[in-house]
A and B are shown apart, each in its own frame.
Chain A
């Protein structure tokens, strides 16, 4: 176990390092380079063109951890070490350190997405298993078509329709924000209910449009497993049907879903950007898009990095739970071949 754990942890660390390098390259490839960007920012705030090189490099150092007067490799080392210390630079648009913005925005996004991912997968898996057991029945045919249809609706279109009908027309749910305006965050039941109420529509958009795909994959896997010989043997041996369904079919049908789980975690976190914008839900995705529109590069890179970090952690958790279910993955090592 420990060797496997070590391998997964180092992989996660390496991924983070690679993504940090990508953000560094991206900052360098800003049209006109970081210097031009800072100069434009300074000119906007001061309103005159007389800016010394010292000022530019000072501001660049503070907001982006990059001193354009240094040689490239020094910039890189400087940038990486600052990032690793949790210094993500300073947002010029919001006039606040990036890490502070992220710390107050991130919990909302995590709350939204962890519930949405959990619901999508548990509901999809259960539905898919039922469909596979009732294969060929009217229920199966019906839900298959519905699943395919739901899978072809983008979550943001569902979100727009949900706002129109459930929020405006029927007034069942609030259309924007993560808690009522003016309400102070408190550890009270009413505040918690308010927060859940605000999160319902965004979560619903992800779950309804995502569950069909999960159900269809699960259905296909389960059908394949039900046809295996060992299931027949178990049946003949008189293993109770319930036990076959959960231990034999369920478990083996779940294993191939691992890759799709990893992909959907990334997909859902990506979707947060669009969803939070539509619902004006001030999570990390909302800030990322604000930063893009304001061309606020430090905040852009910072939120991108944090979203990726969240995905890395989620995938690591999925990895470790998966190795508990399927002990084979721990020994998985590619042998040299041809």
Chain B
């Protein structure tokens, strides 16, 4: 009996139990397939998610293994303002102080990845909590949460973040990430709420309710799995928000320069030469720009691809319209 598991398992009915149980290994294999392999297959089937995840993985690789392999850049490591793509030692050239530009870019990656994760986890967690509770509960709870959400959504993010940054001067990447997404959750919470509003009247949710399943369990078992894909897409969106915000605030010098960041590099390069005036100095300012754009391009590709793959409604309609269009063009 210990090998068996079932949702209907009761010790008094062994016969019935036998018929509907599977071995634990079978169950694990099924779970692995459902939760790990299928999403991976789905991700690989669309070119956008494929390219997107490759770009993201490349940055994660640079931020972990690369960070560990590339030695910390110091002034005077090499010649001053060595142009890019000239030597293997300084693949992206050097700064005015002779630091390797490539090493600087890599140096900034781990902190950026931590920031992104912290910010995205924070905003998505709050948004999911607020969105599902207010959508499912309705009534007074909903009205109160909607007021809070509306206020948070109205306050312009960047000025609020700048004020907060000036007041608390966050230095740890996790704190920076959370400050940067301080009101980013609001838009997502609102979107989740409207999703939940339609979900809560579905027959299976109603069935759970009539069976007397506690609200908490209904939200976790019946509602959350349905909005998870959507949440994932928005996780990526807020990650992009963190990149844009952090680079901007480091560039402006609003955040204290305690972390290496592409924004710090931009600031440094800009202060030394202004916007690049000649191609000999361009690599220093272009390298961090390239880093920001590629990483967010990867994230956007990933989000765009998953959005369509996970939303069966769009997918079904999509297939339908292609057929219709081609039929029309043949006519």
Q: Of A80-88, A123-131, A153-161, A184-192, which binds chain B?
A: A153-161
Q: Given A18-B151, A227-B318, are A273 and B158 neighbors across the interface (CB < 8 Å)? A: yes
The one of B157, B191, B270, B285 in contact with A270, judged by C-beta atoms closer than 8 angstroms, is B157
Give residues of chain B (309-329) contacting chain A, Cβ–Cβ below 8 Å.
313-314, 316-318, 320-322, 325
Q: A295 in the interface, Cβ–Cβ < 8 Å?
A: yes
Q: B230 in the interface, Cβ–Cβ < 8 Å?
A: no
Select from chain B the residue with minimum beta-carbon distance to A175: B275
Contacts of B276 in A (CB 8 A): 164
B200:A337 contact, CB within 8 angstroms? yes
Select from chain B the residue with minimum beta-carbon distance to A23: B163
B138:A337 contact, CB within 8 angstroms? yes
Q: Which residues of chain A have a CB within 8 Å of any CB of chain B?
A: 11, 14-15, 18-19, 22, 26, 29-31, 135-136, 148-149, 151-154, 156-157, 160-161, 163-164, 168, 216, 220, 223-224, 226-228, 259-260, 262-263, 266-267, 269-271, 273-274, 277, 285, 288-289, 292-293, 295, 300-301, 303-304, 307-308, 311-312, 315, 334-338
Contacts of A18 in B (CB 8 A): 151
B162:A160 contact, CB within 8 angstroms? no
Contacts of B244 in A (CB 8 A): 154
Q: Given A18-B151, A152-B296, A300-B163, are A336 and B139 neighbors across the interface (CB < 8 Å)? A: yes
Q: Given A216-B304, A292-B166, are A270 and B159 neighbors across the interface (CB < 8 Å)? A: yes
Give residues of chain B (67-105) contacting chain A, Cβ–Cβ below 8 Å.
none
A267:B322 contact, CB within 8 angstroms? no
Q: B147 in the interface, Cβ–Cβ < 8 Å?
A: yes
Other than A157-B292, A270-B157, give 12 A-B pairs with Cβ distance below 8 A: A14-B151, A148-B300, A148-B301, A148-B304, A152-B293, A223-B317, A266-B156, A267-B156, A289-B254, A300-B166, A304-B159, A336-B140
Contacts of A31 in B (CB 8 A): 167
B191:A259 contact, CB within 8 angstroms? yes
A to B CB contacts below 8 Å, 9 in the list: A15-B155, A26-B167, A154-B247, A228-B317, A260-B187, A270-B158, A273-B162, A274-B248, A303-B159
Q: B172 in the interface, Cβ–Cβ < 8 Å?
A: no
Contacts of B146 in A (CB 8 A): 334
The one of B163, B240, B316 in contact with A26, judged by C-beta atoms closer than 8 angstroms, is B163
In the complex, A271 Cα to B297 Cα: how many Å?
A: 20
Select from chain A the residue with minimum beta-carbon distance to B305: A148
Contact with A along B20-59 (1 / 0, CB 8 A): 0000000000000000000000000000100000000000
Contacts of A135 in B (CB 8 A): 318, 321-322, 325
Select from chain B the residue with minimum beta-carbon distance to A268: B156
The one of B143, B187, B248 in contact with A263, judged by C-beta atoms closer than 8 angstroms, is B187
The one of A164, A224, A295, A335 in contact with B314, judged by C-beta atoms closer than 8 angstroms, is A224
Contacts of B277 in A (CB 8 A): 164, 168
A223:B318 contact, CB within 8 angstroms? yes
Q: Given A154-B244, A163-B275, A223-B314, are A266 and B300 neighbors across the interface (CB < 8 Å)? A: no
Contacts of B248 in A (CB 8 A): 154, 156, 274
Q: B209 in the interface, Cβ–Cβ < 8 Å?
A: yes
B163:A148 contact, CB within 8 angstroms? no
Contacts of A308 in B (CB 8 A): 154-156, 159
Closest-CB distance, A30 to chain B (whole angstroms): 7
Contacts of B143 in A (CB 8 A): 334
Contact with A along B235-252 (1 / 0, CB 8 A): 000001001100110011
Q: B215 in the interface, Cβ–Cβ < 8 Å?
A: yes
Q: B142 in the interface, Cβ–Cβ < 8 Å?
A: yes
In the complex, A289 Cα to B244 Cα: how many Å?
A: 17
Q: B289 in the interface, Cβ–Cβ < 8 Å?
A: yes
A334:B314 contact, CB within 8 angstroms? no
B253:A227 contact, CB within 8 angstroms? no
In the complex, A336 Cα to B151 Cα: how many Å?
A: 22
Q: B153 in the interface, Cβ–Cβ < 8 Å?
A: yes
In the complex, A163 Cα to B285 Cα: how many Å?
A: 13
Q: B228 in the interface, Cβ–Cβ < 8 Å?
A: no
Select from chain B the residue with minimum beta-carbon distance to A164: B275
Contacts of A274 in B (CB 8 A): 158, 248, 251-252
The one of A270, A312, A334 in contact with B138, judged by C-beta atoms closer than 8 angstroms, is A334
With a 10 A CB-CB cut-off, give which of B136, B138, B163, B308 has the most chain A CB atoms: B163
Sorted from nearest, which 6 A-B pairs have the closest CB atoms?
A: A227-B317, A270-B158, A336-B139, A337-B138, A152-B297, A164-B275
Q: Given A29-B167, A274-B248, are A311 and B151 neighbors across the interface (CB < 8 Å)? A: no
In the complex, A312 Cα to B154 Cα: how many Å?
A: 6
Q: Given A337-B136, A338-B215, are A293 and B253 neighbors across the interface (CB < 8 Å)? A: yes
The one of B137, B293, B321 in contact with A337, judged by C-beta atoms closer than 8 angstroms, is B137
A11:B147 contact, CB within 8 angstroms? yes
Contacts of B139 in A (CB 8 A): 334-337
B162:A292 contact, CB within 8 angstroms? yes
Contacts of B252 in A (CB 8 A): 274, 277, 289
In the complex, A61 Cα to B106 Cα: how many Å?
A: 49
In the complex, A19 Cα to B215 Cα: how many Å?
A: 34
Contacts of B296 in A (CB 8 A): 152-154
Contacts of B200 in A (CB 8 A): 337-338
In the complex, A312 Cα to B162 Cα: how many Å?
A: 19
Closest-CB distance, A114 to chain B (whole angstroms): 15
A259:B150 contact, CB within 8 angstroms? no
Give residues of chain B (106-160) contacting chain A, Cβ–Cβ below 8 Å.
136-140, 142-143, 146-147, 150-151, 153-160
Give residues of chain B (174-213) contacting chain A, Cβ–Cβ below 8 Å.
187, 190-191, 200, 209
B300:A223 contact, CB within 8 angstroms? no
Closest-CB distance, A39 to chain B (whole angstroms): 18
Contacts of A223 in B (CB 8 A): 314, 317-318, 321
B167:A336 contact, CB within 8 angstroms? no
Closest-CB distance, A55 to chain B (whole angstroms): 25
In the complex, A153 Cα to B248 Cα: how many Å?
A: 12
